Structure 1
Amino acid sequence: MVATTYVIGAGLAGLAAATALTERGRRVEVIEAAAQAGGRCRSYVDPQLGVTIDNGNHLVLSGNHAIMRYLARIGASDRLAGPHEAVFDYMDMASGSRWTIRPNAGPLAWWVLSPARRVPGTRAADYLALAGLLAPQGDRRVDQAIACEGPLWDRLLESFLLAALNTDPKAGSAELAAAVVRETLALGGRHYQPRVASPNLGAAFVDPALAFLAGKGATVTLSQRLRAIEAADGRAGALLLADRRIALNPDDRVILAVPPWVAADLLPGLTVPDRFEAIVNAHFLQPPPAGAPAILGLIGGAAEWVFAFDDRLSVTVSGAGAVVERDREDLARLLWADVARAHGLDADVLPPWQIVKEKRATFAATPEQNRRRPPARTALANLVLAGDWTATGLPATIEGAVRSGHRAAELAA
């Protein structure tokens, strides 16, 4: 009998694992509890706005190698949009000042010598502080590794690390922050050119993967939750679903690509992150004004990043614990006030809007929670884990999720 790998979960970690295995000619069956694939990286037609929106605005970078491998595999390399150089636009909400950061392409960061390219109010010597994040950090917090004050912190590093960690940067894991810096800022601008899914997350990351799997003969079953895993003699012996029991043959494998709290329920004794951070996204059915930057970082506002799409303006608020419980319309008005000011629009005229709250968007990227991330291998010889919450060495990002899926596929194969 041909061995089967059962991938439980069709988020990006599960899809990365499944596509990597089918590319190798492995037989794969994907089982997903939700009614659609994609997990937290999904698109849908919103009935309130009447247009397709993403549940969140996920920014990826040109140097995210696992993502680029995944998109190339599923034939979606052309589904990312962004500039051909690293360009980042900012606005200070207190003063109204605006600036654009333009790093050079190579690793020798001569751009910090140019006042026109670097953060206003900073000196070239200020950037040497980033050297404090290049060495191994262990269990240190960010505020124990670098100085969390001054123009460079206030106008760049705090917002950059908040977006990467989705946790208060000062209390965040210096090791995870360092991993991001080593793979982006330290390598030069060609490694962190901003990219967004085009036309949306589903079209870039999910739909091509499902088509790829179907073309390779893989099976994808939606709306089917894994209830339990029967284990004996150090192996997973059967998968119990709502309407069937799958007995595993000796050569079958299981990749568990589910949220950490689900994995902990299915595998008693498994240590997983147990503190989480929220993300709030707001979508406003308002075409951006001419010349609006594709991505605008707001310093000192309730809104943090504003994304300009053809038909709407969208906002992302990371580490959103302080606002996630607010009334939805109140939250929409609060965020629209920042968007309107940043783009010269009427703050008193609230366009059609939608608020998307992810209360457990990512694990809290603190040193304590980072220690709770399990490796891909488990106590069951034929079962491995995948997910951005596993020990990828990165924060909970799309790159981390895809990287974990590729690692799980290697182990399962």
Structure 2
Amino acid sequence: MAAAVTLAQHGTKVSVFEAGKTLGGRARQVKLSDICVDNGQHLLLGAYSETLRLVELVAPASAAWLRRPLQLHTLGGLQLSAPRLPAPLNTLLALLGARGLSVSERFAAIRFMLAQRRAHFKLRQDLPVAQLLAQHAQPAALVDKLWAPLCIAALNTPVATASAQVFLNVLRDSLTRRRSDSDLVFPARDLSALFPQPAADFVRTHGGAVTTGKTVDAITQTTVGFSVNGDHYTHLICAVAPHQAMRLLSGLEKLDQVRALINAFRYQPIATVYLQYAAQVTLTKPMLGLAGGVAQWVFDRGMTHGQHGLLAVVISAEGHHRDLATEALALQVDAELRNALGTLPAPLWHKVIVEKRATYSCDAGLQRPDQVTALKNFFLAGDYTASDYPATLEAATRSGVKCAQLILDQA
């Protein structure tokens, strides 16, 4: 949709085909009996400029966000808050004043950030995050409390295999440039209403077409471009998940290298456990960290969405929780919340949503396909394409905008 909006904004008529009935792909609303939640709980950073810009473009009057200065508070553990000072001073002071870390751990974290700043957050060769942290003598407790949770949250990949270069890119853009880049930006609407639905309205009002519930069975090359479901187009952007792209790319020439790159991907899951408690149940902050169990982060959707008493617990990347059935996982998460928060009433209901292939595994040295392919006027968009960023809303948005700009540059 980012590509479609960008093209429509510049007067190009586009057609969008969405196989699902609900726009948004992985970042979409899910309707339960009397409430809308999201297919997965998402958090943005202030550095995610393209996503924020496009949401403002298509829905300028909506109160789409709850925005807060950087605060990473883990129940019974790390307490880190960034002051309202210019970057990177705010980050350094946040680390210096962090509670839950020893003095030596605080200074180790600061030394690491300063060393990366001197190196311009650039590695000669990619390596796993765990190896980079070991090279900089980061204490194990600091890794467990700070770096590993940040890495898993940002890359959805464990530190043992995660790309250190991509991790540094995220640290660079969110913590060292502008103070507002480190802001935590919580969606205040369901993810379909946040961008995909108003984006579709924007495309339609600019002469384009958006069709849902329509599967593209095959893409056929023609003498002037491509045929999709019997209609002909001069340019085509394939904006599907990488494992879905394999089927669509199979009948197209010159894309063997792209298919080989995608075929080498591993995938990581994300589980979101929704627990509806009594309306008076609330957290002290919109998001809190959890340690020592399977639950990693808990979000208060009463604060962000007005869904009072509804907590969303996120469990990113692979782990032993994958061995639990959904009912057992919900009970485990409820028990961990009770242990961390104290007395809680019994949940009124729960819903577990598991995306087994939520993202590609952002491993060190992973090669990702470029948006431009060897096939003329055929482009790839998605968070898995070549980018500084891991699989995030911002990576997907930037790839779509880049594809659109490449097409516009041909005009």
- Spell out, residue by residue over 1:145-189, the C-alpha distance to the aligned partner (whole angstroms, 9 max, x if none): 223533432221111111011011231011111110111122254
* C-alpha contact (below 8 Å) 2:82/2:90 kept by paired residues: no
Which residue of 2 is the match for residue 11 of structure 1?
none
Structure 1 partner of 2:284? 292
In structure 1, how many angstroms separate the alpha carbons of the residues matched to 2:215 and 2:88?
Answer: 50
The alpha-carbon distance between structure 1 residues 117 and 394, as it changes in their structure 2 partners (threshold 3 A), is same
Show the counterpart of 2:335: 337
The match for 2:50 is 66
**Amino acid paired to 1:319:** A
In structure 2, what is the equivalent of residue 247 of structure 1?
Answer: 232
Q: Write the deviation string for residues 293-320 of structure 1: whole angstroms up to 9, x where unpaired.
A: 1000112221100000122011000004
Question: Which residue does 1:275 correspond to in 2?
Answer: 266
Question: Offset at 1:228?
Answer: 1.7
Farther-moved stretch of structure 1 (144-153 vs 352-361): 144-153
Distance 2:390 2:324 in 1: 26
Counterpart of 2:206, as a letter, is: K
Aligned to 1:361: 358
Q: Deviations over 1:53-79 (max 9, x none)?
A: 111110001121111221121124744
Q: Does 1:129 align with 2:112?
A: yes
Query: Aligned pair in 2 of structure 1 residues 80, 62: CA closer, same or farther (>3 Å)?
Result: farther
Change in Cα spacing, 1:115 to 1:74, as seen in structure 2 (3 Å) is closer
With over 3 angstroms needed to count, the CA separation of the structure-2 counterparts of 1:150 and 1:109, relative to structure 1, is farther
> Is the CA contact 1:35–1:222 (under 8 Å) kept in the aligned structure 2?
yes
2:14 aligns with 28
Residue 20 of structure 1 aligns to a residue whose secondary structure is helix
Name the counterpart of 2:253: none
CA distance in 1, matches of 2:377, 2:91: 50
Query: Unaligned 5+ residue runs, structure 2?
Result: 251-255, 303-307
Find the aligned partners of 1:60 and 1:293 in 2 and give their Cα distance: 16
Structure 2 counterpart of 1:394, from 389, 393, 405: 389
How far apart in 2 are the matches of 1:16 and 1:145?
Answer: 34
Q: Is the 8 A contact 1:254 1:384 kept in 2?
A: yes
Q: For 1:303 and 1:200, locate their aligned partners in 2 and report how far apart those are by CA, in whole Å.
A: 22
- C-alpha distance in 2 between matches for 1:114 and 1:53: 33
CA distance in 2, matches of 1:44, 1:34: 12
Counterpart of 1:324 in structure 2 is: 322
The code of the aligned residue for 2:122 comes to A
Sort the Cα spacing of 1:218 and 1:111 in 2 relative to 1 into closer, same or farther, 3 A: closer
SS in 2 for 1:361: strand
* Distance in 1 separating the partners of 2:172 and 2:78: 27
Instruction: State the SS of the aligned residue for 1:306.
Output: strand
| 2:252 is aligned with 1:261 | no
| 1:314 counterpart residue number | 312
| TM superposition shift of 1:339 | 1.9
Could you tell which deviates more after superposition, 267-276 or 378-387?
267-276
Instruction: Please tell me whether the aligned partners of residues 80 and 94 of structure 2 are also in contact (alpha carbons under 8 angstroms).
Output: no
Given that 1:257 and 1:387 are in contact with CA atoms closer than 8 Å, whether structure 2 keeps it comes out as yes
Instruction: Give the match's secondary structure for 1:163.
Output: helix
Task: Provide structure 1 residue ranges, at least 5 long, that are not aligned to the other structure.
Answer: 1-14
Query: 1:338-359: per-residue Cα shift (whole Å, max 9, x none)?
Result: 2223332337x34300000000
CA distance in structure 2 between the aligned counterparts of 1:265 and 1:77, rounded to whole angstroms: 39
> What is the one-letter code of the residue matched to 2:375?
L
Distance 2:124 2:344 in 1: 46
Moved more, 286-295 or 257-266: 286-295
Q: Offset of 1:238 from its aligned partner?
A: 1.9
Structure 2 vs 1, CA of residues 152 and 51 (structure 1 numbering), >3 Å: closer, same or farther? same
Relative distance call for 1:122 and 1:187 in structure 2 (3 A) is farther
**Kindly tell me: are residues 114 and 207 of structure 1, through their superposed partners in 2, closer, same or farther at Cα, counting changes over 3 Å?**
closer
The total of aligned residue pairs comes to: 382
Q: Give the TM-score taking structure 1 as reference length.
A: 0.86
Q: Secondary structure at the match of 2:217?
A: strand
Contact 2:2 2:401 in 1 (8 A): yes
In structure 1, how many angstroms separate the alpha carbons of the residues matched to 2:323 and 2:6? 39
Query: How far apart, CA to CA, are the structure 2 residues paired with 1:388 and 1:356?
Result: 21
Q: Distance between the aligned counterparts of 1:115 and 1:16, measured in 2?
A: 36
- Do structure 1's residue 102 and structure 2's residue 82 form an aligned pair? yes
1:154 and 1:60 map into 2 onto residues whose CA distance is 22
2:146 to 132, 156, 160: 156
Write the distance in 2 (CA, Å) between the matches of 1:28 and 1:97. 50
Match of 2:70 among 54, 78, 86: 86
TM-score (norm 2): 0.86
Give the aligned partner of residue 212 of structure 1.
202
CA contact (8 A) 2:362 2:390 kept: yes
Q: Secondary structure at the match of 2:354?
A: strand
RMSD, aligned CA = 2.3
Is residue 2:227 matched to residue 1:238?
yes
Partner of 1:5: none
Q: Decide which of 120, 128, 152 is 2:100's aligned counterpart.
A: 120
Q: 2:41 & 2:163 partners in 1: Cα distance?
A: 23
Q: State yes or no: 1:138 paired with 2:125.
A: yes
CA distance in 1, matches of 2:405, 2:312: 37
